[in-house]
Chains A and B, each alone.
Chain A
Amino acid sequence: MNSEAKRNKSVGSKVANWCRDFGRQWQLQTMVLPGIICMIIFNFIPIYGLTLAFKSYSVTSTIQDSPWVGMQNFQTILQDKYFWQSVQNTVGISAIKLVIEFFLPIILAIMIFELNWAPFKKVVQTITYLPHFLSWIILGGMLITWMSSNGMLNGLLNMLGFNIHTNHMLNAGGYWSIASLSDVWKEAGWGTILYLATMSKIDPTYYEAAEMDGASKIRQIWSITIPEMSNIIALNLILSVSGLFNSNLDQTLVLMNSQNQPKAEVINSYVYRVGLTQGDFSYATAVGLGVGIISVVLLTITNLVTKKLNDNQSVL
């Protein structure tokens, strides 16, 4: 009895405190309001649309009008061979991207950071950023030309004495490497920005002290640069792992053809094909919801793991 009253009182006083604090900062709080409203409208209310996954919906009906079908859409997913194929491809391509695209920007950033001659550094940065600004429509068109039977790649190979006249885009087995490597080429430079920004914050006296102690460049990188960047590296890792099920729709739509399709179809392009081009919205929503849930699980797991590695401190 006594303790409950105490607790009620403390809860009451906490609420009062909260209100007082809020009143004091009302100008600041008002500034946040438009953001919150936008978030509610664009991020929270659309969540309601997820009910589509449990309904049978068509273009001519509203979300409420459509009949409930329970887990039927999810049961279909389990038997859908093409869905599982797309999951396999998504995870496969993402895993390759994860390994390369996670490490490469770090290495590249350190290399750029260690460049002393400023003009050359600028040139390197500009060149590596450049592909990021080209859309996949353009880049994909270029790739298809390069990979064609008389394209640049075969030209190079033939110069080296191989006699190859196949069109590499038709080779389903090679698609994963084409997709992931081209993505790395496009994004690696851009990925260095975060790291370079972090490195510029490192106190130069650390390096001076290390040099006085006779540490080599490699030693300095290993013992100063990387530990200083560990938080941002961990954050990037969490984001990349939770993005394992994210796939690049633009890239897939441009590069996919009837021959590499078994290896090229990813979840996003599958959802696009089924949902938008075939008008099967409910099924596509069910797929999207399932993938979303798996991604949240992945995010939580990686966060837990990195937290363990990072002295129980979350970087999120």
Chain B
Amino acid sequence: MKKKGILRALSAVVVLGSALILTACGGKKADSGSSNLPKASYKVSKDTPAWKSDKSKMTTLTWFVKEEWWNKDYGKDYITKQIKKDLNVNIKFVTGDDTKLNTYFASGNMPDMITIDDPNSKVARTANTWAYSLQDLATKYDPYFYKVAQKDTLNWYKIKGQTYGYPNYSNTPADYKSGKILPRDAFIIRQDVKDAIGDQDFTTPEGFVKGMKAIKEKFPNLIPFGFNDFSGGNSSLENVVQDMLGVPITKNGKYYDRDLDPDYIKWLNAFREVHADGNISDDSFTDDSNAFKEKVANGKYATMMMGSDVNQGTDLQNFATKHPGAEYLAINGIQSTVGREPTLSQAGISGWLINYISNKSKNPAKAIQVFEYLLSNKGQMLTNFGEKGKMYTQAADGTVTRTAFAKKVQLEEPTKWQKQYRIGEFILFGHDRYKALNKDSYVKAVWQMQDWGKKYLKPQFVIENIAPDPGTQEARALSAIQTNWSTTMVSMIRAKDKSEFDSALAKYKKFQKENSIEAINKTRDANIVANKKKLNMK
């Protein structure tokens, strides 16, 4: 009886408590809309940045960045000190994951600015319900924003005619044409290996298999062929190889399944033969990014299908410095058997991290000023190169040279470089256009690789963000298909013979059919049409 009484009391408390909490959470509904924005407290002009005329007192903004690695320091290093001084703004950075973001939404207590990383996510796709339109803010508070923002990028992120988010590293068609965007992928080989094996042709599947055998003979201690780790996706064996082969991204305006392209399959079979000869190590399939980096830094692989050489820059450089004459070089390899040119890709128009101003922000005027400042030439030079004169000098043609002092600090005091100067690290509005002004932005070891691929760069904007809406049946089916493909692709390379290879592929095709690939592709097709419209393409 006693027990029952306590139970009853307990349940009463539970009901009461949850009721209280529910009422506390309820009631707050989004009241979006930019119509009731307060008037600017300063004179607005389209020729001067608003931060120059805004004399209001120091304001504090909260900025949520959905990346755990983001450095939350503010006002301690030269760069953020300068931002604070110029804009009279104090920024409180908060980092976290989706759960944290969700508590913001659920409580209605939103940070002023929000940075997320996935243009495909529900958060990004419903931005019009929780963020201010950048056009509204810019027109009202800082029309200079239109001068510094890329028109194509603004167009790309439009939802119902308004732009809510602005990404970093968004490359527009003009950027691709400018030659300032550098490729990241290449088939690379160690110089000493290349010299020792004589004339080998790595451009055809047959030559590739033969070339790997030749390497094994001369360098039994090296692994002839390597590729990026699988921890973040399908290594460099999927998209990167497809780009090398120039596999088209659409066919007759419709989505093209690049994984099933006959040319690509032919190359996968070549990789199978290389694996069967013992010239691909099984460990390459289980290595995580650290293990891969270690192998790169030690020159373990004789050749590599290198995806994103910039990210392996330090390791490539370390190896090159320690082993002069053995540094990795980009050569022609892994090329189309049907005569297509490589179509290397780089960051697309969607960019990487997307910045928003929440419609709960108490000070949207300051927030848009921050956006404008960071996007402007002044902000970009500051975040990329630091203090003019002390850290860098700029020539008449715009190219930037780091001062001897800057080079010394970077080389000898990396902690100080990061903590006190924070050069090239404040990248929420970063862009390669500025990085390209200084050759030293990239390590010397990748220069030749970048030069090799320059002429092959080609945007893939039309297939960006075309996946079905997250949370739908189609999205779940697509995720199942992608999981299955990861397993299938590796199984195909590790297959003992051609028949095992073929049956794995057939099984995957069947799996695709069973998991409504047709409906998914229809959604993709519709999204491609929408993308083309945004890009003004026919």
Contact = CB atoms under 8 A, between A and B. Distances in A.
B5 A15 contact: yes
22 contacts: A41-B17, A44-B14, A44-B18, A45-B14, A45-B21, A59-B98, A59-B101, A60-B126, A80-B476, A80-B480, A148-B283, A149-B283, A165-B278, A170-B490, A259-B285, A261-B487, A262-B487, A276-B97, A276-B99, A278-B479, A279-B98, A279-B471
A81 interface: yes
Contacts of B230: 257-258
Which label, helix, strand, loop or mixed, suits the secondary structure of the B interface? helix
Interface string B434-474: 00000000000000000000000000000000000011010
B105 A60 contact: yes
A219 B489 CA distance: 58
Interface in A52-106: 56, 58-64, 76, 80-82
Contact of B480 (A62, A81, A166, A258): A81
A10 B328 CA distance: 91
A38 to B, nearest CB: 12
A283 B487 contact: no
A259 B490 contact: yes
Given A48-B18, A170-B286, A278-B475, A259 B101 contact: no
A259 B286 CA distance: 9
B174 interface: no
Interface of B: 1-2, 5, 10, 13-14, 17-18, 21-22, 25-26, 97-99, 101-102, 105-106, 121-123, 126, 129-130, 230, 234, 278, 281-283, 285-286, 470-471, 473, 475-476, 479-480, 483, 486-487, 489-491, 494
B5 A167 contact: no
Given A62-B105, A62-B106, A170-B286, A258 B490 contact: yes
Contacts of B17: 40-41, 44-45
Given A258-B486, A259-B494, A18 B473 contact: no
Nearest to B477: A80
B285 A18 contact: no
B470 A278 contact: yes
A169 B22 contact: no
Nearest to B469: A58
Contacts of A45: 14, 17-18, 21
A47 B30 CA distance: 26
Interface residues of A, number: 43
A306 B14 CA distance: 32
Contact of B471 (A58, A258, A262): A58
Nearest to B281: A149
A64 B122 contact: no
A18 B2 contact: yes
Contact of A82 (B13, B480, B490): B480
A167 B283 contact: yes
Contacts of B18: 44-45, 48
A279 B479 CA distance: 12
Contact of B1 (A14, A63, A170): A14
A148 B291 CA distance: 12
A283 B475 CA distance: 12
A150 B491 CA distance: 20
A280 B286 contact: no
A18 to B, nearest CB: 5
B1 A76 contact: no
